[in-house]
Amino acid sequence: MIDRTIMMRPNSMSKNNAPIPILDETQALATASLENLYRIFTVPEAPNTTLGAIDKEISDNLMGFLSNRIVAVEKSLDDIEADFATAGVPEVPQFVSDYTDFVMEKLVAHSVHTAAPGFIGHMATPLPYFMLPLSRIMLALNQNLVKIETSKAFTPLERQVLGMLHNMVYQQSEGFYRDNLHNSGRALGSFCSGGTTANITALWAARDSMLAPQGDFAGLAQLGLPAALKHYGLDGLAIMVSERGHYSLGKAADVLGIGRKNVIAVPTDEFARVDVAAMRQRCAELRSRNIGIMAIVGIAGGTETGSVDPLTDLAELAQEYDTHFHVDAAWGGPTLMSETHKHKLKGIELADSVTIDAHKQLYVPMGAGMVVFKNPAKLGAVEHHAEYILRDGSKDLGQYSIEGSRPGMAMLVHAAMHIIGRQGYEIIIDQSVEKAQQFANMIAAHPEFELCAEPELNILNYRYVPAALQLELESADRARTVQINKVLDRVTKRMQKLQRAAGKTFVSRTRFPQARYDRAAVSVFRVVLANPMTTMQTLTAVLQEQTELAKDADIVGMIEKLG
């Protein structure tokens, strides 16, 4: 089908096969580049080129590549920035091998080894090997999922993946899925680039269906929020969520025109679970001020704590207020595949929408989040069309998504669900939760560390507190407690930075109110245990390293000053 002669000689673009025009000397470089350009679209990297060799190295041994090519010792950010300092568009094309050398030395070497067993500070999960060759298939096809004309079988596949997630959460009948899975007028959910977009999508649909068209009123989607509030006789909208809600909810409230201050952050109990009674009270108060409750958001796997809100109670509250109940299970969702732990998410099946990230505990590469809707007509509230694509009645998934052009990431979720299977995920999840429990026990038993709370899933928080201070804190008065915690906050910050800079292991840090300190905010380490290669030995090493770091002169000084 492709005539290589023509491809390599693009100047011969005339109907009558006219000869290639003769170019003068000033065009010599451009001519050379022209040929090079055709080559980059038609001639692959040979295995013996620099880039070909790297490609093979990754294919042969991913963990080896990451361990060998990423340097462990921190290069200062200033120094790294110096390698990316100019804003000029490069004028002359560069050889692929030269560019590859640059990438290996300046970029790869100074990346973060997020798959390292000791990198337990963020929700970064390692990739199963099959993800790389399957990703190559996905990239080679370069489909665009916004419309079926550029995605074909990928569109049914994406609908199936959304169906699987829907099934995981809602477990509807076979007939339900037969009627809805490939129904052009229905959407079981929306595939997004991540959990933030998924949460925004859920709240967008919640807002637009709450203030829907009614009689002569064309609805919020058409006329905007101010007109909609006026029509419905409301003085504002509020989103109810725990104070431990993900920051994307505040961002969603900004984007959607609700306002960040109208995300009502409700206090939590000692396990970082939202206080439903307090939320009920706030709802009543808001209603008395004529503020509409736009959504109640529950958390299933808090970003900082891994905690799960009392979802059944929240569902009941949402029903009382006839409002949308959204569950942010970006992290915790896959727990539903564990027979042992799924009970912890009880009530999630009552949610109107649920966010689950595939690039977290489904072990898919970065850039894959989903939101599923109990009612497959709900996304109709945000449906949109265009003349050249997304025509009414088409199966184009772009009709229901906040994003436009999208890659075929759903293929990688489809692959993971099949190759790992529910049983496989169950094992990984059970191991992670057990590891968190064991690590919590280890911390609790250690004289120099303080555990914040028993972990519910596989995330936990703790801090370094010398034994003497732990003892003192047990009986200290309020002023002294505040004084000690202020210093410990600085210790936590300093220790986390030192540990990060040393590059051996990594925990993150955060800050939130602690029940045991009268709900004063305290800085703590945050550990996320989802890497199957992390062992108890790794975790022992983390604590050992931190104990060593406590000998840092600054840290010793801070603690000594406390007297």
Interaction with a second copy in 384-413: which residues (CB under 8 A)? Answer: 384-390, 395, 402-408, 411
- 40 CB-near residues (< 8 Å, 6+ apart): 96
Query: Scanning residues 296 to 335, which ones bind a second copy (CB under 8 A)?
Result: 303-304
Alpha carbon distance 203, 252 (integer Å): 7
Kindly tell me which residue out of 120, 164, 329, 379 binds a second copy, with binding defined by CB under 8 A: 164
Residue in 363, 362, 526 with CA at minimum distance from that of residue 439:
526
CB 383 within 8 A of CB 400: yes
Kindly tell me which residue out of 83, 270, 518, 548 binds a second copy, with binding defined by CB under 8 A: 83
Strand, coil or helix: 450: strand
Q: Smaller CB distance to a second copy: residue 128 or 310? A: 128
Q: Which stretch binds a second copy (CB under 8 A): 109-117, 275-283, 314-322, 464-472?
A: 109-117
Site string for a second copy, 428-447 (x = CB under 8 A): x--x--xx--x---x-----
Q: Does residue 240 touch a second copy according to CB under 8 A? A: no
The 3-class secondary structure across 17-63, one letter per residue, is CCCCCCCCHHHHHHHHHHHHHHHHHHCCCCCCCHHHHHHHHHHHCHH
Kindly tell me which residue out of 281, 319, 535, 544 binds a second copy, with binding defined by CB under 8 A: 535
Q: Which stretch binds a second copy (CB under 8 A): 74-82, 316-324, 462-470, 548-556?
A: 74-82
Q: Smaller CB distance to a second copy: residue 222 or 319? A: 222
Q: Which residue, chain included where needed, has tokens 């970003």?
A: 303
Cα 467 to chain centroid, rounded: 37
Euclidean distance between the first and the last CA atom of the chain, given in angstroms as a whole number: 82
Residue 554 CB, shortest distance to a second copy, in Å, is 20
Q: Smaller CB distance to a second copy: residue 22 or 77? A: 77
Q: Does residue 547 touch a second copy according to CB under 8 A? A: no
Query: Scanning residues 5 to 64, which ones bind a second copy (CB under 8 A)?
Result: 6-7, 10, 13-15, 29-30, 33-34, 36-38, 40-45, 47, 51-52, 54-55, 58-63
Query: Scanning residues 245 to 284, which ones bind a second copy (CB under 8 A)?
Result: 247-248, 250-251, 253-262
Q: How many CB atoms lie within 10 A of CB 227?
A: 15
Query: Scanning residues 466 to 495, which ones bind a second copy (CB under 8 A)?
Result: none
Alpha carbon distance 61, 59 (integer Å): 6
CB 122 within 8 A of CB 543: no
Alpha carbon distance 333, 370 (integer Å): 11
Residue 559 CB, shortest distance to a second copy, in Å, is 23
Kindly tell me which residue out of 20, 23, 149, 556 binds a second copy, with binding defined by CB under 8 A: 149
Residue 233 CB, shortest distance to a second copy, in Å, is 13
Q: Does residue 159 touch a second copy according to CB under 8 A? A: yes
According to DSSP, the β-strands at 189-192 and 369-373 are antiparallel
